[in-house]
Amino acid sequence: MHVDRNDVFWMIPVKNGAVEVDFDDARARLVVRGLNVFDDHDLANSLTQGLGLPTPPIPPIFPVHAKVSFDVEWNGTLEMAHIENDEQQFKGTFLSTGATISWSAEQPGFQFQSDAPPDPKGNLISVLGHEQNGVFFG
């Protein structure tokens, strides 16, 4: 896949079967292995495409190729909300859930692995949703 670094917004497709959802049981999982990405080093270099910033002084660091893997699990309903707005043709049911993520990255000369098993207390908020809008509103 070709990724154009000049795009303002782009999505990276994942393999079929990477996502499993059982909305009725408030469970979902996303597993991705060896996804090719760019490591931009920091937010300033990501937003400036490696040019850094003069103020505050952040040195330019050109992005490097890297691979990431992650396993995200959502599990169990903590709260539920149903939203319906006929005027904007939008409705949905949203579940606040618990969630964990295991994450790793590698590039030449560097590797990172998150804590295993992941700590569910580190989760601030996670939401599973089922929505209908636009032509799918009905």
- Digit-coded pLDDT (tens) for 41-72: 888 888 888 888 888 898 998 889 999 999 99
List phi, psi (to 5°) of 13. -70, 150
pLDDT score recorded for residue 2:
42
Residue boundaries of the structural domains of the chain = 19-75+99-123
The dihedral through the CA atoms of 49, 54, 58, 59 has a sign that is: positive
Taking residues 74-88, what's their average pLDDT? 93
pLDDT digits (tens, 9 = 90+) for 12-33: 788 889 999 999 999 999 999 9
Write down the pTM of the prediction.
0.75
Taking residues 36-40, what's their average pLDDT? 89
Of residues 32, 31, 29, the one with CA closest to residue 99: 29
Q: Provide the b/e sequence for 15-32 (b: ≥16 CB within 10 Å).
A: eeeeeeeeeeebbbeebb
Q: Could you tell me where the DSSP H helices lie in 15-92?
A: 43-47
**Residue 91 tokens, joined:** 């409705």
pLDDT score recorded for residue 10:
63
pLDDT score recorded for residue 42:
85
Pairing of strands 127-133, 110-113: unpaired
